[in-house]
Structure 1
């Protein structure tokens, strides 16, 4: 759904989607690659991946409430995470709450964590939410759906063709799937995938 959103494709409308296939208008987009794993939207690590890991360990409650319960539990044990982030032209050492690497703009069903990301620019966008308090993190949450969090002083953004993330005890997820424990290296592979698109759409992000 997040990739479809980035490409301006219909979600939940099978007839419209079939019309787009029939029109046979295609576009080449970039993909991210971690070893042999590919991703189209966002590689996430830090608070959000810790929540997902905790949710998988919970036996109760079931369904979506399990994730909510895991988030509350993880907030209670919130701590700064010592990251090393290697970009094309810099190495950053900082305390972070969350680090996301985006080929696309959004993840998690519409959280616009990398609002400036374009799927065809040959670059990965990196969003770093530095170590913040529980109150500050909760205050940031609504802005993630609007993409306005990047205007906050505790948020930094970068672009790079390749990104290496290092942080002990943290797992990376990409396109919502568990990838591996850090360190991981993601690189942008330009024009790696051709997709059907709406010929009337001008969406590039």
Structure 2
């Protein structure tokens, strides 16, 4: 008889423990469902953003405007051809002139430069004197066969008097020695492009 109250107390403790256990389990499930509902939208947004970023963009040349954009805006937007085998210089100049709203075409060798010049109308050419496949003078000579008036600015780390005399005879607007003043180069390009565009537009009318 003395153990009966103890048995009742033990049974009550077991019952209370069972109820507490099920309530705790239910609360954990509800919390898990709430966490999943918060996580799911962010996963969807991330997937959509990745798909958008992965969509391909066509380019006419490395770091250059697309061919379709060029065809649509050739009459209103000025184009510049940057010919230099040093990637850092091409990237710097491409960013500079793109920020001014120009169509920028790049070439790291003479053959690519001539192919781009034949295909697109250029309003200015920045031409490195020394390149792996050909001399800048040879590229300039071929450019002058296609156009005698387009402004060509020579960029070089070193030019012998003989090379400079030959470049002058073929027709260059200016020569900048590396390292050059980028602000001065920008102003010269803008001035020459405006001059060439007004002259060529006047002839077309």
TM-score calculated relative to the size of structure 1: 0.23
Return the index of the structure with the highest Cα Rg: 2
Structure with the larger strand share: 1
TM-score calculated relative to the size of structure 2: 0.23
Q: Which has the higher contact order (CA 8 A, sep 6+)?
A: 1
Structure with the larger helix share: 2
